[in-house]
Amino acid sequence: MIKLHSSLGPNPRLVRMFLAEKGLEEGRDFERVHYDIITGENRQNADYLIKNPLGTIPTLELHDGTCLTESWPICEFIEEQHPAPNLFGETAPERAEVRKWARLFDQEVVVPMTMGFRAGGGRPMFEQRMAVVSPEAGAELSAMSDEKWRFFDSVLGESNHFALGRFTFADLIVFCFANFGFTVGWKLPEGTGNLARFVDTHNGRTSAGIWQQPE
C-alpha cells in the first residue's frame, strides 16, 4: 500500500482532499503517516529525512519505495494513476488553463502569504528551524498577498470555478490556502466577497471535511 506522509498545514490537506475527490480512501487505498510539525518532528525524524531530505510535508511513498515530494506533482501523479474524475483537464488546452491559474496563485499568493506568516504570527514556530524575513518584510509580503487575493476575487466574479466551469485543481489550491489562513487567525481581505462565497460553497464538498478533522 502506498503511504502519504502527512501533517497539519495546507499542502498535506490539499493532497488529502485531492485523494478524496478521486474516491481514494485512507486505510483502503493508502496509509497515512502523521508527523507533528509543531514540534518539528518532520525535520528531526531520521527515517523521514532519508525519504525527503528537505523534511517538507507531504511525501507520497510508492510501493517500490520511490518517494514523491511537493503537493502539486503528487496530485498530478495521482491524476495520471486515477484519471476520473478529472481535476487537471482532459485536453492539452484544458490542462494549460488549469495549470495557469494554479501557478499564478502559487506564485502570487501562496509564496508571499506563507513567507509573511512565518515572519509574523508564525515566527515563534519557524524562526528556530528555517530562515525567515524580518517582521517588517513579513508585513509587506502579507500586504502583497492580500492584494493578489483581491485580484483573484475579481477574476472569479460570480463563478465558483477558476477554470473549465467545473471543480479543478485550480479551485482546490485556492480553497485549501484560504482554509489554512482561517486556521491561523487570518481573514480574507476586504473586497473579496466572491472568494467568501467560493469558500462557503466548496465547504459543502465531502472532501472538505478534512479541514474539520482532528490530526
The 3-state DSSP class for residue 5 equals strand
Residues 206, 85, 8, 195, Cα dihedral to 10°: -70
Q: List, in order, residues 6 or more apart from 115 with CB less than 8 Å away.
A: 132, 133, 138, 141
Distance from C-alpha of 27 to C-alpha of 38, rounded to nearest angstrom? 25
Give all domains of the chain, ordered by start, each with its CATH number.
2-81 (3.40.30.10), 92-206 (1.20.1050.10)
Q: Could you read off the pLDDT of 145-187 as tens digits, one per residue?
A: 999 999 999 999 999 999 999 999 999 999 999 999 999 899 9
Predicted model pTM: 0.94
Q: Could you read off the pLDDT of 68-114 as tens digits, one per residue?
A: 999 999 999 999 999 999 999 999 999 999 999 999 999 999 999 99
Residue 215 Cα distances to 30, 35, 143, angstroms: 16, 9, 30
> How is residue 86 written as a grid cell?
478529472
